[in-house]
Amino acid sequence: MQNPDLRDQKEMQNIDELETVLYAGNLLLSSGAEIYRAEETMSRIAESMNIKDLDAYVTNRGIFASGNVPGKGIETRIMSVPDKELNIDKIEAVNELSREVCRNCTDLGYLRTALQKIADVGEQKVSERILSYFLGAGCFSYAIGTSFRDSLCAAIIGSLVGFYMIWSKYRIKSRVLITIIASVLTALLSNLFVAVGLGSQLSFIIIGAMMDLVPGVAFVNSVREFSQNNFATGQTLLTSALLSCVSMASGVALVELMVSGTIMTPSVIYDIPEISYTVLLIRSLAAGLGTIAFALMFRVRRRHFVDCGVMGTITWLMYMLCIRTWNNEAVAVFVSGFSAVLASRVLAVLRRCPATVFLMTSLIPLLPGISLYRSIYYLLMGSAQISMHFGKLCFLTAFTIAVSIAIVQQIPRNWTVPTGIFRKRKEGKLPS
């Protein structure tokens, strides 16, 4: 029988240092992290492992890297990245591990084992996923101005569509087909709810139920990647977002032509100047609860739920107050988006986690996915003028959010975080 110590030594010899560095970047990218975050994490881990001259080219579907590995010389590795499934818990876990490696110079075997444990985390419970679909659709439907009854219809339909999405994940290989069927199911159920008298405004119910499907995160991330000169990744994300919205709009348009033969009247998403401040606050609280639902969907750790909910509430309240005051979409998105990005940066230091945890969730109320879907829907239905209106609104929102993020990233960290935090960190009272 082989000596356990000799077996462990043999296994250690088979562990590839550069491949482990790429594996960390792979975990981040497949969990929805940004390109720059994967590059920075890989560089920090490589430096702690004494890998010199690391040169990496990172895209959303692959990592190409070379480096001078101690005792082995210059090596090159290529690693493909699987389809993304947003999992902020894994991003935070890899971020914590990279900080630990940089502080303690952890050995290679421990690093590889820890990364494998992160990768092997099980899937989310079906009950939690359905709950996130229910709350996300219902709360954001009410936040944008739908009645309580229509919001409840949207929540029920959203949860049913969510159950279909979970069922089809491993049964249908084509994402386009999955999305088309989901949109057809959404439109059919919405028409049924209106026909039997459970709901009243069809367009509002469909929009609310679609909240869980729209690719707003991918659309904004594509603009962010373009702004950071990652054109290949930006183009891929933009194409994915457009394809998703085309699939959604096609399914809804098909059902509407078959059921009624007419185009849906474009509904006004908000009537902010005409409503009271009390209603504004209630809608903002609904947006906060919807943000928590998306935090649950994105696998954010539960200790961050309150922060995410508060930020979602404040972001939507600031947006509506700006619309009420200036009636200018660009100003409203910039002010609320800039505040959310800045708060995410501060909270990232205070809570000792990546800013992505709060950024991905707090911006959910502002994301332009619904506008993109509506633009494509009315284009397919032949209403070019209405389509141009929503298309302009979509790109204006995405660009404004991307500019807000870019501006905050240029602000020195000690301007946005109290100096006492850094003093405690230097004294060893807080981890870096």
What secondary structure letter does DSSP report for 144?
T
- The pLDDT score that the predictor gives to residue 268 is 58
Residues 412-426 have a mean pLDDT of 55
In tens, the pLDDT along 347-388 reads 998 998 998 899 888 888 888 888 888 888 888 888 888 899
Q: In sequence order, what DSSP letters do the residues of 265-299 get, joined into one string? A: PPPPS--GGGS-HHHHHHHHHHHHHHHHHHHHHTT
Beta bridge partners of 74: 68
pLDDT at position 196 over 70 = yes
222, 228 contact by CB (below 8 A)? no
Residues 110-121, mean pLDDT to the nearest whole number: 91
421 pLDDT higher than 80:
no
Relative to beta strand 73-80, strand 52-58 is unpaired
Q: Is 106 left (phi over 0), alpha (psi -120 to 50) or beta?
A: beta
Q: Looking at residue 405, what is its pLDDT?
A: 85
Say yes or no to pLDDT of 274 above 80: no
- Confidence class of residue 426 from pLDDT cuts 50, 70 and 90? very low
Which residue's structure tokens are 């600031």?
318
Residue 272 or 40, more confident: 40
pLDDT band, residue 430 (cuts 50/70/90):
very low
pLDDT (average), residues 103-132: 88
Give the residues across from 75 on adjacent strands: 67
Residue 102, pLDDT above cutoff 70: yes
CA distance 22 to 38: 9
List the beta strands (DSSP E) in 71-222: 73-80
Predicted confidence at residue 115, as pLDDT, reads: 93
Strands 62-69 and 52-58 come out as: antiparallel
What does the alpha-carbon distance between residue 359 and residue 33 come to, in Å, rounded to a whole number?
Answer: 11
Res. 283 pLDDT band, cuts 50 70 90 = very high
Mean pLDDT of 150-176: 93
In this predicted structure, the answer to whether residue 428 has a pLDDT above a threshold of 50 is no
Model confidence at 332, pLDDT cuts 50, 70, 90, reads very high
Entry pTM:
0.88
- Confidence (pLDDT) at 432: 37
The most confident of 232-246, 254-268, 299-313, by mean pLDDT: 299-313
Which residues are bridge partners to 64 per DSSP?
57, 78
Task: Please say whether the beta carbons of 158 and 136 come within 8 A.
Answer: yes
pLDDT for the residue 108? 83
pLDDT at 164 over 90: yes
Distance CA 409, CA 21 (A): 25
Q: Which of 11-15, 161-165, 202-206, 369-373 has the weakest average pLDDT?
A: 11-15
Average pLDDT over residues 232-244: 85
Q: Does residue 157 have a pLDDT over 70?
A: yes
- Show the 3-state SS of 307-354: HHHHHHHHHHHHHHHHHHHHCCHHHHHHHHHHHHHHHHHHHHHHCCCC
pLDDT at 2: 40
Lowest mean pLDDT, pick from 103-112, 202-211, 249-258, 327-336: 103-112
Looking up tokens 């739908």 gives 146
Reported confidence tier of residue 418, pLDDT bands at 50, 70, 90: low
> How does the average pLDDT of the chain come out, rounded?
85
Which is it for the CA torsion 82, 370, 302, 156, positive or negative?
Answer: negative
What does the pLDDT read at residue 230? Answer: 78
Contact (CB, 8 A) for 71 and 81: no
Phi, psi of 414 (to 5 degrees): -70, -5
Q: Pick the more confident residue, 262 or 114.
A: 114
